[in-house]
Amino acid sequence: MKGSRMLALLLAALMVLAFMPASLADEEPIHISVAGYMFGPIDAEQDVITPLIEQKLKDDHGINVDIEVVYVEQANYAEIINTRLAGGTAPDIFLAQSATTLQSYYDQGVIKTWDEEFFKTNAPHVYDFIMAGAAYGDLAPYVDQWKDASMIDGEMCVVPSFKPDGSMPYKTLIYRGDWLEKLGVTEDQLPKTVDEFVALMTRFAKEDPDGDGQDNTYGMSVTAMKALFGAYGLGEEGFAGGGNGIFVERDGKLVNSDVTDEAKEVVELLTKMYADGLIDPEFVNGRESVEGSYWAISHGMVNGLYGASANASIDHYRLKGITGPADEGGRCANEYWAVNGEDSTFVYAPWPAGPNGDYGWVVGYAVAVSESAVYNADMDDEKLAVIFQIMDAFATDDDLYMTAAYGIKGEHYEVNDDGTIGRNGLSNEDLNLVGVWGCRSLYGADRAFSQTSYDLVFYKDPSIANRLNWFKKDQYNSYIQNAVSVTLPSNDLFAELNTIRDEAWVNIITGKASIDTWDDYVAAYMAAGGQTLQDEANAWYSGK
């Protein structure tokens, strides 16, 4: 009798195991090491989040994994990962970092590839979410671009981020409010054309807006120059700090904006403005923040040297109370108030329009790979399938996502009355310490592929709404996009080309060279690789 009972219990146990997911029946969990974007190290003794994620995955999704969060300092991320790849100690999951780095990893054979059907099978909800244009379908025009970005040589090698903030305008002109008031310039009198903009810069430089009786002010510095490039339809992203020059379409062909006739017109205009004393001579440094300080702070504007900047976003200059009663304002706004007084003001200004009605700042695309994960080539397909299943779990399980991205409710975050999230005074580093965001490269990039995460991070974020409300206004809604949405094969040539451009333009603007040397500059630029890149851009463009 006893033997029969034992046999029955054994058979029952075997039946339970037979209906359990295979990973739960395994004796050993699948080990996954992940090195995502983190603000500080994780403390194994304080980490309460990773064990919770492991348990939720096991209990609710039948995925039995042991997650090892690997902290890699962001400042030296590429160097550290490359060293680990060379030594065979790289984590299972690490960041693509950029399209150029992704291509390099692929060429070296250090990352896995897979076909689209494999991804669709193991992450069906993520796949459907993307194919439907994300949370509200508004990204549908970017679906084909997402597919292109995910693949090299017809095989997927990364799951790109897919988010509306990537194509949202993010910069605007900022003017010193006290200078406008001193000069009697009201909101409806803010410059709307290039001529009006130059006129205001002249007044900033010549009419003693700081009231100290000295000739010690300028109209603008380096970043506000981009407003003039935008006025000529260029959306200049390289000169005056930033990335590479962008391509624009002219008569059915792509040309690099750095060698266009319009660029020449802007450089000629800047030359006159510089000669007239409207531009801070320190623009040659290519930055407005003091070395070692927060990058978005325009110290020259904050300290009353010049009156216009486009170094920061509206959110950097966010007014108090926008995101809730405890909102103390944006980081740059606080710096401005600290220097100029709590009652001091600044103004979000429209972009000046050029002769053809163009205006604005270059905006990006909804697709990017920088914060997206790649997967170590040493792993087998079984582990990769589990990783995609985890990504799918984060897309379908809001509680799982909230735990990974925000922590434990009541301890690490609270839900405000308006549905926004409060972090209970904890810094990003504090949250990383206990495991929050440690799994972010498991659920996508900086958010899960779900409506809940998109709402929290973007659509229902009051700081985003504040920016979008401004960007709905005429001449605040910058729209200029690079005509090339992929990384060109010879993209590395831009490093030398940027040096050629910057040296030539600075020399012309400061009067060390004449505008008559423009053709020589263009010839040198094209010979050094500009023609190669332009040919590659047009080859890609003709095949779209």
189/327 same-domain check: yes
Range of the domain at 184: 173-360+488-542
- Select from 473, 471, 470, 453 the least CA-distant residue to 461: 453
Q: Which residues are CB-neighbours of 332 under 8 A, at least 6 positions away?
A: 294, 296, 297, 298, 302, 312, 316, 317
214/148 same-domain check: no
pTM, to two decimals:
0.80
- pLDDT of 24 strictly over 90: no
482 assigned to some structural domain? no
Sole residue written with tokens 């090491």 = 33
22 assigned to some structural domain? no
The residue among 469, 496, 521 that closes a domain is 469
**Reduced to 3 DSSP states, what percent helix, strand and coil does the chain have, rounded to the nearest 5?**
45, 10, 40
For residue range 71-112, what is the model confidence (pLDDT) as tens digits? 999 889 999 999 999 999 999 999 999 988 999 999 999 999
Q: Are 441 and 37 in contact (CB under 8 A)?
A: yes
Q: Which residues are CB-neighbours of 470 under 8 A, at least 6 positions away?
A: 172, 314, 348, 476
4 assigned to some structural domain? no
Mean pLDDT over 39-60 rounds to 96
CATH classification of the domain holding 60: 3.40.190.10
| Per-residue model confidence (pLDDT) at position 240 | 58
Q: Which amino acid makes up residue 25?
A: A
The residue among 421, 441, 469 that closes a domain is 469
Give the whole-angstrom CA distance, residue 349 versus residue 519. Answer: 35
- What φ, ψ does residue 375 adopt, rounded to 5°? -130, 130
333/235 same-domain check: yes
Q: Which amino acid makes up residue 410?
A: G
Cα dist from 229 to 135, 192, 352, 361, 424, whole Å: 34, 14, 10, 8, 43
353/371 same-domain check: no
Give the whole-angstrom CA distance, residue 41 versus residue 118. Answer: 33
The residue among 440, 469, 498 that closes a domain is 469
For residue range 425-479, what is the model confidence (pLDDT) as tens digits? 888 999 999 999 999 999 988 999 999 999 999 999 999 999 999 999 999 998 8
| Per-residue model confidence (pLDDT) at position 420 | 83
Q: Are 85 and 68 in contact (CB under 8 A)?
A: no
- pLDDT of 19 strictly over 80: no
Cα dist from 351 to 227, 244, 304, whole Å: 6, 22, 21
- pLDDT of 515 strictly over 90: yes
| Per-residue model confidence (pLDDT) at position 23 | 44
| Per-residue model confidence (pLDDT) at position 237 | 63
444/338 same-domain check: no
Give the whole-angstrom CA distance, residue 506 versus residue 433. Answer: 45
18 assigned to some structural domain? no
Per-residue b/e over 140-177, b at no fewer than 16 CB within 10 Å? eebbebbebbbbbeeebbbbbbbbbbbbbbbbbbbbbb
For residue range 331-362, what is the model confidence (pLDDT) as tens digits? 999 999 999 999 999 999 999 999 999 999 88
Task: Choose the weakest-confidence range: 11-15, 324-328, 396-400.
Answer: 11-15
- Select from 202, 209, 237 the least CA-distant residue to 223: 237
213/318 same-domain check: yes
354/373 same-domain check: no
277 assigned to some structural domain? yes
| Per-residue model confidence (pLDDT) at position 136 | 96
For residue range 198-229, what is the model confidence (pLDDT) as tens digits? 999 999 999 999 999 999 999 999 999 989 99
96/178 same-domain check: no
What band does 397 get if pLDDT is binned at 50, 70 and 90?
Answer: very high
Q: What percent of the chain has pLDDT over 90?
A: 79
177/161 same-domain check: no
- pLDDT of 3 strictly over 60: no
At 189, is the secondary structure helix, strand, or coil? helix
40/149 same-domain check: yes
For residue range 358-375, what is the model confidence (pLDDT) as tens digits? 999 888 899 999 899 999
Kindly tell me the burial class for residue 519, based on how many C-beta atoms sit within 10 Å of its own C-beta (0-12, 13-18, 19 or more): exposed
Q: Are 153 and 91 in contact (CB under 8 A)?
A: no
103 assigned to some structural domain? yes
| Per-residue model confidence (pLDDT) at position 11 | 43
| Per-residue model confidence (pLDDT) at position 8 | 41
335/371 same-domain check: no
| Per-residue model confidence (pLDDT) at position 170 | 83
Q: What is the CA radius of gyration of the chain?
A: 27
17 assigned to some structural domain? no
| Per-residue model confidence (pLDDT) at position 243 | 62
**Number of domains present in the structure of the chain:** 2
Say how far residue 235 (Cα) sits from the centre of its chain. 17
Kindly tell me the burial class for residue 486, based on how many C-beta atoms sit within 10 Å of its own C-beta (0-12, 13-18, 19 or more): middle
372/230 same-domain check: no
- Average pLDDT across the chain, whole number: 91
11 assigned to some structural domain? no
At 414, is the secondary structure helix, strand, or coil? strand
